[in-house]
Amino acid sequence: MQHYFIDEVVTLKQILPCPENIRHHLRDVMRVDQGQIIRLLDQNEEAFLAEISYRDGEIFLEIQSKENLQVELPVHVHIVCGLPKKDKADFIVQKATELGAYEISFLAMERSVTQWVDKKVSKKLDRLQTIARQAAQQSQRTHVPKVNFVKNIGDLCLADHLLYLADEELAKKNTKAFDLTDLARSQTPILAIFGPEGGISPKEREFIIGAGGKGIALGPRILRCETAPLYFLSGLSVLVEGGWSWLSKKI
């Protein structure tokens, strides 16, 4: 079923003129027929089934029923990544959204190889937010992660979160992957920080641990900056959602 986000609050039995961005996709890409059903996610992250109707060459969406979708991770996860090189931010946003991240931030860190120029940050965030929306739509989520840029580590909002730091130094010392057993039982939002290509500086490590953060190793192998947050989200999903239950049933 086609799945679209709509920037307004929807009510049952409402008839909506189809927004331009959705209209183009329905008519010119999907070539939908009269009477076809699609799913709409409104501003309140509530799901509705809508029937397509054509009137005088225009597309209208007739709200038929409400749908109870349970597709989000049961715990909110805020992924914070040191600024990566080139277009790796695009990849991180797309894949972290597909894997269930609730919020994604890019942090300027001491060892970041790249820097984001102030006058270009707004445009860059707009593009990344569009990528997040498209990925949430493709993976049929109810929530679109907010994408942020954080200029200083001290500006991170660390309160009321379980704080974790993925640290390659720990990975060198520990051959075991991270233990998220306690996380699986908690409903407290998680904030996980991942360094850039150059790694995390001692000063940044000290700040995060001093703020109550816990260092975690992501196994014995050193992961790329764009791989680490995806590994973390995947492991968390398996723990809290039973991500491999489909496999055990087949076996």
| pLDDT tens digits along 232-243 | 999 888 888 875
Q: Which residue has the higher pLDDT, 98 or 22?
A: 98
Confidence of residue 207 (pLDDT cuts 50, 70, 90): very high
**Mean pLDDT of the chain, nearest integer:** 89
| pLDDT tens digits along 187-203 | 789 999 999 998 999 99
Q: Are 116 and 149 in contact (CB under 8 A)?
A: yes
Dihedral over alpha carbons 20, 21, 27, 33 (to 10 degrees): -90
Dihedral over alpha carbons 206, 147, 75, 100 (to 10 degrees): -120
| pLDDT tens digits along 171-190 | 566 545 555 666 666 678 99
36 Cβ partners below 8 Å, 6+ apart? 51, 52
Q: How far apart are CA 206 and CA 209, in angstroms?
A: 5
Question: Cα 183 to the chain's mean position, in Å?
Answer: 18
Task: List domains and CATH numbers for the chain.
Answer: 3-67 (2.40.240.20), 77-245 (3.40.1280.10)
